[in-house]
Structure 1
Amino acid sequence: MGKIYEKLTGRLREFISAQPVYFVATAPESGGHVNVSPKGYADTFAILDDHTVAYLDLDGSGVETIAHLRENGRITVMFCAFHGPPTIVRLYGTGRVVTQNDPDFAELLTRFGPHPGVRSIIVVDCDRISDSCGYAVPFMAFEEDRGLLDQWAERKDVRQKRAYRAKNNRESIDGLPGLSASETDPVTTHS
């Protein structure tokens, strides 16, 4: 059944890289709403080393992950197989939000594919890496990525992106701080 790993092994790296979708879970310190976000675009996830991963945080209608990480850092990233052997991999750890204002943003950005709606990069230091069976996860076929999020971001100019982020990304649904005013300026280059 399940196993705990000391590091991201070659087999785990191959499994993670083959998944077209992953899920990110965070929660406020006490009370409030638990958040689970599906993430697509396989080129938005990168394994940085044996215990560290990162993903490209693209524009969205909410800012739960950023707000929760800034409050308490707790995060879980889950991958599950919808084809092949029934496997689930969970990466538990502490996350941090890297914005365009941070010195390591530009270097991290090079690890991902080109996307126009870059809001931040989430870096996760994994303190528990485990797998488990996915016996009840259904078989599903991947057809293609939806291009809608990238298309939406391409249609917005800098002013429109700034206004959207100011309206939708300054605080979480529970009122926790999200992006600051200086972080709502869109990144002017693609990832």
Structure 2
Amino acid sequence: MAKQFPALDDRLTAFIEEQHMFFVGSAAATGRVNISPKGMDSLRVVGPNRILWLNLTGSGNETAAHLADTNRMTLMWCSYTTRPLILRCYGTARAVHPRDADWDDLVAHWGDPLGARQVYDMQIDLVQTSCGYAVPFMDFSRDRDTLAKWADDKGPEGIHAYWDEKNTTSIDGLPTGIFDE
């Protein structure tokens, strides 16, 4: 059932590109494990062992704090349509912030949307597929525009203030590095 690969191939990359949602898992050396759903066309496969994903402003900033402590990450996709498949990519990642030298090059994959707070640059060391026999069928209706509208209403200064209030530490008190120099 489960199969392991050293990298993504064209078939698995196409599967990723067909999905409307993925999940990210991260953890520091101690504290809580975080799993978050992601969507909004925020992911790019840029090579067989490299994925970029855009992290927009949210209520927490767990992944950034976890990567600052322990740079491991897992991404997961599930098929909710005819083909029963679960795909996981395991590896290490780094958080790239707007202040970093390679920010402009990386965020250009999305056009630098308002509220972009990090790009995660993941190096894949293991790809695993498994059956999705127990994953339910679900129909995709549409993407939500709530986060983009929220960011527009806040504006750049409001988003910065929100980061200061809500995104500087994880729920376990670890620093996220959002304002580090």
After the TM superposition, list the runs of 4 or more consecutive aligned residues in structure 1 that deviate by more than 3 angstroms. none
TM-score, normalised to structure 1, is 0.91
Equivalence for 2:21: 21
Matched, 1:103 2:101: yes
Cα deviation, 1:18-51, whole Å, max 9, x if unaligned, reads 0000000011202x1110010011x210011110
In 1: Cα distance, 2:114 partner to 2:39 partner: 15
Equivalence for 1:47: 45
Q: CA deviation at 1:116?
A: 2.0
CA RMSD of aligned residues (A): 1.3
Q: CA deviation at 1:115?
A: 3.2
Alignment of 1:8-157 (within 5 A): 8-30=8-30, 32-41=31-40, 43-112=41-110, 115-157=113-155
Q: CA deviation at 1:182?
A: 5.1
Alignment partner of 1:162: what SS? helix
Alignment partner of 1:77: what SS? strand
Classify 1:80/1:113 alpha carbon distance in 2 versus 1 (closer, same or farther; 3 Å).
Answer: farther
Equivalence for 2:176: 178
Unaligned segments of structure 1, at least 5 residues: 184-191
Alignment partner of 1:85: what SS? coil
In 2: Cα distance, 1:157 partner to 1:45 partner: 23
In 1: Cα distance, 2:17 partner to 2:175 partner: 32
In 1: Cα distance, 2:21 partner to 2:154 partner: 25
Alignment partner of 2:135: what SS? coil
| CA contact 1:69–1:95 (8 Å) conserved in 2 | yes
Alignment partner of 2:164: what SS? helix
Unaligned segments of structure 2, at least 5 residues: none
Equivalence for 2:4: 4
Alignment partner of 1:181: what SS? coil
Q: CA deviation at 1:58?
A: 0.2
Q: CA deviation at 1:117?
A: 1.5
Classify 1:101/1:114 alpha carbon distance in 2 versus 1 (closer, same or farther; 3 Å).
Answer: closer
Amino acid of the structure 1 residue aligned with 2:61: V
In 2: Cα distance, 1:113 partner to 1:82 partner: 29
Q: Identical aligned pairs, as a percentage?
A: 41
Number of paired residues?
A: 181
